[in-house]
Structure 1
Amino acid sequence: MMKVEKIDTFTGHRDCIYALEKTGEKQRFFSAAGDGFVVRWNLQKPDVGELIAKVGHSVYALSYLQEENQLWIAENFEGIHVIDVETKQELRSLKLAPTNYFDIQIYNNQAFVAGGDGVITVIDVDNFSFRKHIKVSSESARCLTINPVEREFAAGFSDNSIKIFDLHTFELKKVIEAHTNSVFALKYSPDFRLLLSGSRDARLKIWNVEQDYSLEKEIVAHTFAINNIAFSPDEKLFATCSMDKSIKIWDAVTFKLLKVIDRARHAGHGTSVNKLLWSDYENQIVSGSDDRTISVWKLS
């Protein structure tokens, strides 16, 4: 029997929380919100948030580069800021098209940025220059996930599709008519054999990568949009979070629902849960919400 305990709530953001990202240390993580604040928190000292950066517009996406100890911030309507976490100084910035930026994934010296104009921008990390603008939809690119094994990356769009690209040539390899509404969440399984997608249609779908992304399973997982998917460090479980204010814990092999974390049962969030981070620190789950709080959950 799985038990869930809420162990902390972090407050301080003045707007909805959209992004959570790991740091180089197990016990710390970053958050970003509609207030333009980027904050570093310590799971061992819950009441002390440390301001890392402040930008003029909301932030939906962060990506941490551990080797350089740099944080990439995607500021909506502006572009990318690269922050030296140690000194909190901005090292460089890159102006992008005036739209929302929903996701950044960095792999192998390339940063992929998903834009509200339907463009995926590929940036050379070392030279900090544009490598490619990939335009395959007039609807927003909402989420990205990378599969180094198959040398592919997947993008979820507001045209309800998942599009699969070659990781090196950026060529479009496959279009999956995946959902009946925007695809907000995408995650390859830790062994890269499955692709999990979550949508505004509240459905969770499992695609078999090795069988040309055939649909393996469809689950009516939530009552409103699925915003994010996160795997546990031991890879045995994963969590989904939703606009329905809940977090759900699933078995990563059987896809059986194991636990629902919500307001009624666990003093969960009062509004949409936008982002999850499954921390290596004591297996804690961190969740960020429209209610401007970050909650920390312990599973046992």
Structure 2
Amino acid sequence: MAHTVRIPIYGRRPPCATSSRIDDWHQRLRVLRLERLRKPEKPEDFVVYEDSDDEEENLAAETQVLRTSYNFVDYVRCREMGGREPSWVGSDFGSRHILTHEMFKEYSVSLSNMNKVFCSQWLSDRQVVFGTKCNKLMVYDVVTERLDQIPSLQGRRDPVAAPQEQQCGIHSVQINPSKTLLATGARNSSEIAVYRLPTLDPVCVGEGAHRDWVFDMCWLDDQFLVSGSRDTRMALWRIQEDDLINREDVPSYKHIQALSVKDCRSAQKVRAVAFNKSFQEIAALSLNGYIHIWNAETFKQVKLSRKLPSCQENVCLAVQDSGMYAVGCRSYTLLLDARTLQAVKKIPTRYSGCGIRSASFQGNVLTIGTGVGILMFYDLRAGKYLDSSINSSRTVVLKASKGWVFPDEEYIDGFQHIKYTPAIYTHCYDSSGTRLFTAGGPLPANLYGNYAGLWQ
């Protein structure tokens, strides 16, 4: 939604200050108050209280409501005329409008015979980088529909002596805040590789920290990077300016060691890591159903670990700008308060047993990728799934195309034949929030295939 603080030129109030707006605002507050006072059938284990009613209805808040225009035309006119009024547009305005009006259309991306896309990020307004289970780092141009493979970086280990199972794929691609470096997996899946942006020239390979696959990474700032591995270790890396200087004509890269390597206590196989900028902490999700909090400034696990309500398939973790965590489980998405790690909300899936495979925040909209090829969108402010403006009786969902699978579109699970649908292992919005890249592949480990689509 657009916000423009209007300053009156003549009179005491701007044109948007109508009494009906205050009446509508009070009505919404009454509805919210009744909703909070309503006793649920099953009492919650953890209750969050918002600001008091007296604070909500004070004079300053009413003045702010009267002076603020939520009209997008006012925002555009203010920007065109160079007005000094404070104005901004919510980060989820574009994506919310396109979703609720069902304007997204999928354009399938052909990936030939690649196997399962695990991670993706937008490099620019026309390029997407993604990593696959077959250890390929690819760049897709959404305009020309061209696919380019970026060579993987090799560590100093003997590639002949390295076991074949060490090449299990690229599970994470992360871009630093200033968009100058890209961190991802190396040829050996227990090592990390760093590339320079936008040229994607090699910078360095980080080695010696992990003995097993690196599942996820996160940037703390433009230099410091944290990686989490299946060997239960967390590693802190630093990419210095000397590493970025290439004095040779042919692009080359360095080999670096981690600044610190520590075991994540009470963890079994670190599956996902995320940096919470609001609280200056690192959250790590382990496959035994724990979330662990590390101090980002000291790189110490000095805070706490908490057992999650569900121990099944906790594979994805997302952080909102305000600091809230979202954890994807087998049958629901769990919202956690960053201060206590208590469950604020359990968001059940609309499809039983589908499994949550990817999650991300876009403003106040939580995007959820499932294991049955469906994307769902949860409105945090409304406390429910996003409703369609075209048909108010249904919620907004995006159903992915099938992609490609080998050997057959039907496989046997137990004693029954199940129709194949791709799992959405990764999704990412572009900077405008008006385009969405989704990718994945078959959920069973014994199936080979891929899926990728561009929604715009």
TM-score normalised by length of structure 1: 0.87
Following superposition, the deviation at residue 77 of structure 1 comes to 3.3
The equivalent residue for 1:35 is 134
* Partner Cα separation in structure 2 for residue 236 and residue 138 of structure 1: 30
Q: Name the SS for the 1:5 alignment partner.
A: coil
The equivalent residue for 1:101 is 214
Q: How does 1:190-209 map to 2 (within 5 A)?
A: 190-192=321-323, 194-199=324-329, 201-209=330-338
2:320 to 156, 176, 189: 189
Q: How does 1:140-219 map to 2 (within 5 A)?
A: 140-172=269-301, 173-178=303-308, 179-192=310-323, 194-199=324-329, 201-210=330-339, 212-219=340-347
Higher relative CO (Cα under 8 Å, sequence separation at least 6) belongs to: 1
Q: How does 1:254-269 map to 2 (within 5 A)?
A: 254-258=382-386, 259-263=396-400, 267=401
Q: Going by fraction, where is strand more abundant, 1 or 2?
A: 1
The equivalent residue for 1:285 is 436
* Partner Cα separation in structure 2 for residue 147 and residue 107 of structure 1: 9
In structure 2, do the counterparts of structure 1 residues 254 and 176 end up closer, same or farther at CA, with 3 Å as the change threshold?
farther
**Is it true that 1:274 corresponds to 2:403 in the alignment?**
no
Q: Going by fraction, where is helix more abundant, 1 or 2?
A: 2
Q: Name the SS for the 1:277 alignment partner.
A: strand
Amino acid at match of 1:214: Q
* Partner Cα separation in structure 2 for residue 168 and residue 4 of structure 1: 43
Taking every aligned residue pair, what percent have the same amino acid on both sides?
Answer: 11
1:251 to 357, 372, 379: 379
The equivalent residue for 1:120 is 234
RMSD after superposition: 2.3
Q: Is the 8 A contact 2:361 2:367 kept in 1?
A: yes
Q: How does 1:41-60 map to 2 (within 5 A)?
A: 41-45=140-144, 47-54=145-152, 57=167, 58-60=169-171
* Partner Cα separation in structure 1 for residue 149 and residue 430 of structure 2: 20
Amino acid at match of 1:204: T
TM-score normalised by length of structure 2: 0.59
Extract structure 1 runs of 4+ deviating beyond 6 A: none
Amino acid at match of 2:344: E
Q: Name the SS for the 1:60 alignment partner.
A: coil
Q: Is the 8 A contact 1:184 1:198 kept in 2?
A: yes
* Partner Cα separation in structure 1 for residue 341 and residue 200 of structure 2: 42
1:71 to 169, 182, 186: 182
Following superposition, the deviation at residue 89 of structure 1 comes to 3.5
The equivalent residue for 1:238 is 366
Q: Is the 8 A contact 2:118 2:133 kept in 1?
A: yes
> Greater Rg, structure 1 or structure 2?
2
* Partner Cα separation in structure 2 for residue 63 and residue 133 of structure 1: 20
Q: Tell me how many residue pairs correspond in the alignment.
A: 288
Following superposition, the deviation at residue 219 of structure 1 comes to 1.9
Q: Which sections of structure 1, spanning at least 5 residues, go unmatched?
A: none
Q: Name the SS for the 1:254 alignment partner.
A: coil
* Partner Cα separation in structure 2 for residue 231 and residue 37 of structure 1: 27
Q: Is the 8 A contact 2:117 2:451 kept in 1?
A: yes
Q: Is the 8 A contact 1:157 1:182 kept in 2?
A: no
Q: Is the 8 A contact 2:217 2:274 kept in 1?
A: no
Q: Is the 8 A contact 1:161 1:182 kept in 2?
A: no
* Partner Cα separation in structure 1 for residue 368 and residue 195 of structure 2: 29
Amino acid at match of 1:43: V
Q: Name the SS for the 1:35 alignment partner.
A: coil
